[in-house]
Structure 1
Amino acid sequence: MRRALEDDGISSQTADDVARSNSPSKPETTLFGKSTHVPRFKVLMVGGFLLVNVASMCMVPFRNTHSVKDLARGLAGVGMSPPVDPFKVASRGLDVILDKARSTGQDTIVTVLAPVKYELQFPAVHYGLPVMGSSNDNEGIAFNLDGYGIGGRVVGGLLKSLDDPVFCKWVIAALVLSVVLNSHLFSAARQGVKSTPDDSTEPEKPVSLPVARNVPCECQRVVVPTSPAAEGELAIKRTPEEMELMLSEKRAHELTDEEVVELSLRGKIPGHALEKTLKDFTRAVKVRRAVISRTKATADITNGLEQSKLPYENYNWTRVFGACCENVVGYMPVPVGFAGPLVIDGRSYFIPMATTEGVLVASASRGSKAINAGGGAVTMLTADGMTRGPCVSFPTLDRAGAAKIWLDSEEGQTTMQKAFNSTTRFGRLQSMTTAIAGTNLYIRFKSTTGDAMGMNMISKGVEYALEVMKSAGFEDMKIITLSGNFCADKKPAAINWIEGRGKSVVAEAIIPGDVVKSVLKSDVDSMVELFVAKNMIGSAMAGSIGGYNAHAANMVAAIFIATGQDPAQVVESANCITIMKNLHGSLQISVSMPSIEVGTLGGGTILEPQSAMLDSLGIRGSHPTEPGANARQLARIIAAATLAAELSLCAALAAGHLVKAHMQHNRAPPAGGK
């Protein structure tokens, strides 16, 4: 996921943060929790080891003399060379001599001496010493084992120390204390892990008292801590020179908020650099609000921003910085409602919608209910490919024509495809469409982009492919712009309506006639008549391009905002034609949306609230086995939700309920009204 985000233009630090948060989360367990098998195994192993050793130590006083001697001898042999068996040395000596004599053909005389037998009494010379103490004296057996070498002395010293009652009491006390402390620490660890606050929230700021600290000046002065919590508690205010000195020493984060505001107003700290300077994103947002409020040029209209109701606290700004927004002063809460559930291709979904338009969620829910009664919506993905259309120029029309012919040839297609694909793991060039206007050549690249919406990914590939094209015999080519509006991005265009851009999806549902009457409060013929008059004739009279629908943009915008898509791309993503037919007394309704531009990776999808909405649909991040599957599923969901909204609104228009519904749900009754 990290590499996919970097391909889409996200900074490495932000991509790494998002990748870690999106990785399969570990079960919420603490030290020795219910799902931690490894710690449990370690505890059992350590406990078993201690239990065996304690039992062994307890059995030492009850062992007989021979067992203690054997133990001492065994310990004494540790680290010494193994004994040599004299009977095995040169055991085949005669055989070797005989073989050598036969091979050389020489006579050999062998003198055999009488064997000398050796008997090994002890494994080491130390054990040849007489054993001190008698066999009947327990102390001599258990503790006075010096005669058995180093091992004997170690065992003897250990056993003798255990016989000391004072030492035993200290050992027992230490063991008890260790058990108590470990139990306390384990409990604290559990509570600490469970109560760890989320990274996105800011800790409550403590109120601290002034303390003394060193100031970089000629004398020592007493000042308060420079954290924001100490605001207003300065005993002695720093001079501008001192503040600038701290800024030059990269210690601006130690200044108070008021001092940082003063430096920023004086132009010493650029407003866009507050995050890097203060090393605290939330504090930077707070200071920026104060700076904007007190800027003289706009103070008459922005003076209320500092204390405004625009929220900024308890938000994970690390995801925003360097990825989503600059000069941040807060975030804009938008109500989010869930429409549905809606059955899409046999699976039920609640549809997240961020909107301030009343009745929209309710209307989509009513349409979902009617569609579910007919068996649910069926979707089909007909195309998947993001586009980018650069503009290049040549000195003459002949050169522009030669470039077009080369790009349309097999050689040109292969060369450009190889160059484009080398820039990304997920993007794959599908096709190139060319058009000439004078000496300008427009090239429309179309590529898959995995689960990302892919504008940054495809732009990087196009840029490199054009450089390769230059080196392929078109050195006189001049790149006018990487985006020449031949894409076309964020603007209405017939090419998107005809050729498609992003995901092209068709969704269909069949609503029984009785459901149209009971749920939608209309009838099939009235809805078909409205479809022809409104969606077909009305849109044609208006000269609409891609607007042969009732309100597809409503659903696209609401889902886009809720799931972190680019709201500006609602322009082309809402291209939709809604068709209704009377199918044997039932209402057959379909929506065809050729240019839904969505992604589940990168952009606004890395923000935590938007990620949560993608989670509710089961499509957050990149698909683990099939790149692009999550983004395609989101496009299917948007098309099916648009189908439900179109159905409900057209039914309300056919029945004449639109104004009544809006007045009932969106307006308070007039004063004195009944």
Structure 2
Amino acid sequence: MAINSRLSGLRDSSPRERRAIVVRNAGIDASALDVLEPGAGLGVEQADHMIENVLGVIGIPVGVATNLTVNGRDYLVPMATEEPSVVAAASNAARMARGLGGFTTSDTGNIMIAQIQLVDVVDPEGARMRVLEARAELLALADAQDPVLAGLGGGARDLVVRLVPTRLGVHVVVHLHVDVRDAMGANAVNTMAEALAPRLGELAGARSLLRILSNKADQRLTRARAVFDRELLGGQQVVDDIVLASAFAEADPYRAATHNKGIMNGITAVVLATGNDSRAVEAGCHSHAARAGSYTALSRFERAADGNLVGTLEVPLAVGLVGGATRAHPAAQAAVALLGVQSATELAAVVASIGLAQNLAACRALAAEGIQRGHMTLHARTIAASAGATTDEIGRVAQRIVDDRRIRLEHAQEVLAELRAGRISP
């Protein structure tokens, strides 16, 4: 069954009704998302096997982004985030690209890098040459550590030797490039690095020290591109102002940090929902933003010849479908089932597209109306709940504090008191 991500009116349904609508349109089992109900997902006993010193679990809202088309296929995208407006903004931006073909992506494959640091090297250049001469032997040794990965078409692909000047002398650093297929890859590359370290020490006449993957996953890049409809954005002036805002973020690291935070609002939410390592992805993306020596924007927006807006994004995405919390966490399993992705590459394509969509939504809000208007309108419901409003009262309290342009806790408490005293008409 083909997924239809265009679900109008979803916001007006209850959470239980939304789940029913989503599973029906995703073509998955009716009970597949029941684990998202509090108390039905990750339990304390399961959590106790995932990390140490477990005390309990913490809940984070999981929403679904709609309207997303990536490489000609529709996706309903689970997003785990505590921040208002993120899910709605990504869905709205995806709608603006939908009629013009949605998002298209490309990638460089699933190569992860393991680093082995060699110290106390007498002849760094000679050590480098000896290691490279043993390249075939070392790649075979690495593959022997994970025959399953090699059997799936992955495994060690290349060996790079760098001479890194440090304040304590030159270190020889060996990079092992590994195709990790559908895994995030940390365990596989770390195991290979540990196995290679003694032999590398012998070859280099050195002592091996650190043996670990790099989260600067610049051999695992995903690129996303979309064209956003000029009229849906708000007209030509909005397009031109978004391009100016993009140029600002490219040139200024202070603006770039906030610009990229908007991208990560989308990326991290999907990464977290699917049980992947959000800290690894964030570290990789921010290091990529500084790859030229100064921190800059990860995305770029430009005006097309027809006046529409073209957005592009390039990010390293070390995400996987096998191992770790993705397999151990029932809610993560449900999120992957909802997405219906079949490979880590496909998952990365969706993640990058959501990042670009979220980024566009934030830039549009800034350029067109200011970030506070839409964001604070959605935030008003959180404020109303914090004031003690019940489910039946939240909507009325939120609307009133928005109308009053006083979206603050103390005002929400005043409005709630008036509502309960009967001084606010239905």
Instruction: Tell me the TM-score normalized by structure 2.
Output: 0.71
In 1, the alpha carbon distance for the partners of 2:362 and 2:83 equals: 14
CA contact 1:387–1:458 (8 Å) conserved in 2: yes
Q: 1:433 aligns with which of 152, 160, 166?
A: 160
Equivalent position of 1:366 in the other structure: 92
In 1, the alpha carbon distance for the partners of 2:182 and 2:93 equals: 29
Trace 1:101-140 onto structure 2 (pairs within 5 A).
none
In 2, the alpha carbon distance for the partners of 1:560 and 1:440 equals: 34
Structure 2 residue matching 1:415: 3-state secondary structure: helix
Matched residues, number: 332
Equivalent position of 1:528 in the other structure: 243
Gaps of 5+ in 2: 1-28, 30-34, 290-297, 381-397, 402-410, 416-423
Equivalent position of 1:422 in the other structure: 144
Trace 1:86-105 onto structure 2 (pairs within 5 A).
none
Structure 1 residue matching 2:208: 3-state secondary structure: strand
Which residue identity is paired with 1:394? D
CA contact 2:200–2:208 (8 Å) conserved in 1: no
Equivalent position of 1:537 in the other structure: 251
1:402 matched to 2:123 = no
Q: Give per-residue Cα distances to partners, 1:586-611, cap 9 Å, x unaligned.
A: 33433333311111111110111111
Equivalent position of 2:218 in the other structure: 500
Which residue identity is paired with 1:656? E
In 1, the alpha carbon distance for the partners of 2:285 and 2:266 equals: 9
Q: 1:433 to 1:512 in 2, by over 3 A?
A: same
CA contact 1:359–1:666 (8 Å) conserved in 2: yes
Q: 1:562 aligns with which of 270, 273, 277?
A: 273
Which residue identity is paired with 2:218? G
Which residue identity is paired with 1:648? A
Trace 1:257-336 onto structure 2 (pairs within 5 A).
315-316=42-43, 319-322=46-49, 324-336=50-62
Which residue identity is paired with 1:527? I
When structure 1 is superposed on structure 2, of 426-435 and 636-645 the one drifting more is 426-435
Q: 1:357 to 1:522 in 2, by over 3 A?
A: farther
Structure 1 residue matching 2:331: 3-state secondary structure: helix
Q: 1:548 to 1:444 in 2, by over 3 A?
A: farther
Structure 2 residue matching 1:644: 3-state secondary structure: helix
Instruction: Tell me the TM-score normalized by structure 1.
Output: 0.46
Q: 1:522 to 1:664 in 2, by over 3 A?
A: farther
When structure 1 is superposed on structure 2, of 583-592 and 363-372 the one drifting more is 583-592
Q: 1:313 to 1:605 in 2, by over 3 A?
A: closer
In 2, the alpha carbon distance for the partners of 1:374 and 1:332 equals: 40
CA shift at 1:430, angstroms?
A: 2.3
Trace 1:91-240 onto structure 2 (pairs within 5 A).
none
Equivalent position of 1:478 in the other structure: 207
1:463 matched to 2:194 = yes
Query: Which of the pair is proportionally richer in strand?
Result: 2
Q: 2:308 aligns with which of 587, 596, 599?
A: 587
In 2, the alpha carbon distance for the partners of 1:469 and 1:390 equals: 8
In 1, the alpha carbon distance for the partners of 2:237 and 2:78 equals: 27
In 2, the alpha carbon distance for the partners of 1:331 and 1:389 equals: 34
Equivalent position of 1:608 in the other structure: 330
Q: 1:313 to 1:585 in 2, by over 3 A?
A: closer
Q: 1:361 to 1:543 in 2, by over 3 A?
A: closer
In 2, the alpha carbon distance for the partners of 1:522 and 1:394 equals: 60
CA contact 1:556–1:574 (8 Å) conserved in 2: no
CA shift at 1:572, angstroms?
A: 2.6
Gaps of 5+ in 1: 1-27, 29-199, 201-310, 490-495, 624-629
CA shift at 1:417, angstroms?
A: 0.9
CA contact 1:420–1:429 (8 Å) conserved in 2: yes
Trace 1:657-672 onto structure 2 (pairs within 5 A).
657-667=370-380, 668=398, 669=401, 670-671=411-412
When structure 1 is superposed on structure 2, of 340-349 and 412-421 the one drifting more is 412-421
CA contact 2:105–2:223 (8 Å) conserved in 1: yes
CA shift at 1:349, angstroms?
A: 0.5
Taking every aligned residue pair, what percent have the same amino acid on both sides?
A: 23
Which residue identity is paired with 2:91? S
CA contact 2:44–2:54 (8 Å) conserved in 1: no
CA contact 1:420–1:461 (8 Å) conserved in 2: yes
CA shift at 1:548, angstroms?
A: 6.3
What RMSD over aligned residues (CA atoms) do the two structures have, in Å? 2.8
Larger radius of gyration: 1
Which residue identity is paired with 1:479? S
CA shift at 1:523, angstroms?
A: 2.7
Q: Give per-residue Cα distances to partners, 1:364-392, cap 9 Å, x unaligned.
A: 11101101022211111134311121211
In 1, the alpha carbon distance for the partners of 2:41 and 2:98 equals: 39
Equivalent position of 2:103 in the other structure: 377
Q: Give per-residue Cα distances to partners, 1:296-340, cap 9 Å, x unaligned.
A: xxxxxxxxxxxxxxx888745665454x21222211111100011
Q: 1:418 to 1:319 in 2, by over 3 A?
A: farther
